[in-house]
Amino acid sequence: MRRRCLACLVSISLSCLVALPGLAQARSLRIATGELPPYATQSRADQGIALNIVRQALKTAGHEVIYSFMPWGRAQEETKAGLWDGSAYWGRRPDRERDFLLSDNVLTEQWVVLYRAGLKLDWQVPADLAPYTFAAIRTYTYTPEFIARFNDGTLKVDWTPDDLAGLRKLAAGRVDAMLLERNVACHLIDTQLTPAEGKAIRAHPRLITHQFTTHLMLPRQLPGSVALLADFNRGLAALHASGDYQRLLGDVPCQAGLAQPVMITRVPAALRQAPRRG
């Protein structure tokens, strides 16, 4: 009799847990992503810093994450169409807020001005960079201030297919500067450039924006997205509270020796908008 009652209590407790509002049913999640080492990549055991944070936050609610790597544009479009449970990780912008549910901040990227060694480059606002020619990528929108100056010619630009090509132009002296996330630059310089090329590149310690938050995106049309978003945000908060978040974020090794960004408390208006991939 006592065993039968105990079994009833367990059954009732599990039923109540499933019925709790805002709690998604634990399941395997298929999440679309792309390559952006060291944050998202098939080359690391943890599949990248940002993707591992997303995985661990969802794990607290019992969800298993399975990542599928593809071009970033395809990941966004197919997730918008509801073909994937979500996509990670992305910067915030109005069209994504319209098409997706965006999570709390996964991590804040550190975008800086890279420049040729030997240049005495310093800057406070984008106008200070007018003497220099930048390698830039058309599918990036950077910040509104920078992209407007690239488009109107106030800042000279050499349009470039990708980050690695831009770094090689910079190392060869074909351009003077480039905007890039510091840890992405460290990874590419350390793994893809020669030591001589790496020594030819420096990073200014001023961030081009302090606002580049990144997010898990969930398709609005899937019925489970609202509960899944709540699960993720709770899990992310738990990682912060336990101290595990800082451990997962870690320190990215930078043999290239690029300057660490300097945090400032008052951010000029021109630096408040975030660069965007794609």
Please report, as a single letter, which amino acid is at residue 71.
P
Q: Are residues 115 and 58 in the same domain?
A: no
The average pLDDT across 130-140 equals 93
Q: Are residues 158 and 258 in the same domain?
A: yes
Q: Note whether residue 276 is domain-resident.
A: no
Q: Are residues 205 and 218 in the same domain?
A: no
Query: Which CATH number fits the domain that encloses residue 52?
Result: 3.40.190.10
With residue 171 as reference, give the H or E element that holds it. helix 163-172
3-state secondary structure of 247: helix
- What are 195-230's pLDDT values in tens digits? 999 999 999 999 998 888 999 999 999 999 999 999
How many whole angstroms from its chain centre is CA 244? Answer: 19
How many whole angstroms from its chain centre is CA 27? Answer: 24
Q: Are residues 120 and 198 in the same domain?
A: yes
Cis check: omega of the bond before 38, within 30 degrees of 0: yes
Q: How far apart are CA 189 and CA 199, in angstroms?
A: 9
Q: Are residues 264 and 176 in the same domain?
A: yes
Q: Note whether residue 82 is domain-resident.
A: yes
CB neighbours of residue 264 within 10 Å: 12
Q: Please answer whether residues 192 and 171 qualify as being in contact, where contact means their C-beta atoms are separated by less than 8 angstroms.
A: no
Angle at 154 between CA 148 and CA 155, to 5 degrees: 85
Nearest to 180 by CA among 46, 81, 103, 275: 275
- What are 54-71's pLDDT values in tens digits? 999 999 999 999 999 999
The pLDDT mean for the chain works out to: 87
Residues 6+ apart with CB under 8 A from 217: 76, 79, 86, 87, 88, 90, 96, 100, 101, 102, 103
Q: Note whether residue 91 is domain-resident.
A: yes
Query: What range defines the domain where residue 84 resides?
Result: 24-108+212-242
The structural domain count of the chain equals 2
Q: Please answer whether residues 226 and 135 qualify as being in contact, where contact means their C-beta atoms are separated by less than 8 angstroms.
A: no
Q: Note whether residue 4 is domain-resident.
A: no
Using pLDDT thresholds of 50, 70 and 90, give the confidence band for residue 181: very high
Q: Are residues 143 and 258 in the same domain?
A: yes
The average pLDDT across 111-133 equals 95
Q: Are residues 37 and 82 in the same domain?
A: yes
3-state secondary structure of 33: strand
Q: Are residues 64 and 81 in the same domain?
A: yes
pTM for this model (two decimals): 0.80
Q: Note whether residue 12 is domain-resident.
A: no
Q: Please answer whether residues 29 and 103 qualify as being in contact, where contact means their C-beta atoms are separated by less than 8 angstroms.
A: no
Q: Are residues 30 and 100 in the same domain?
A: yes
Q: How far apart are CA 106 and CA 49, in angstroms?
A: 10
Q: Are residues 148 and 172 in the same domain?
A: yes
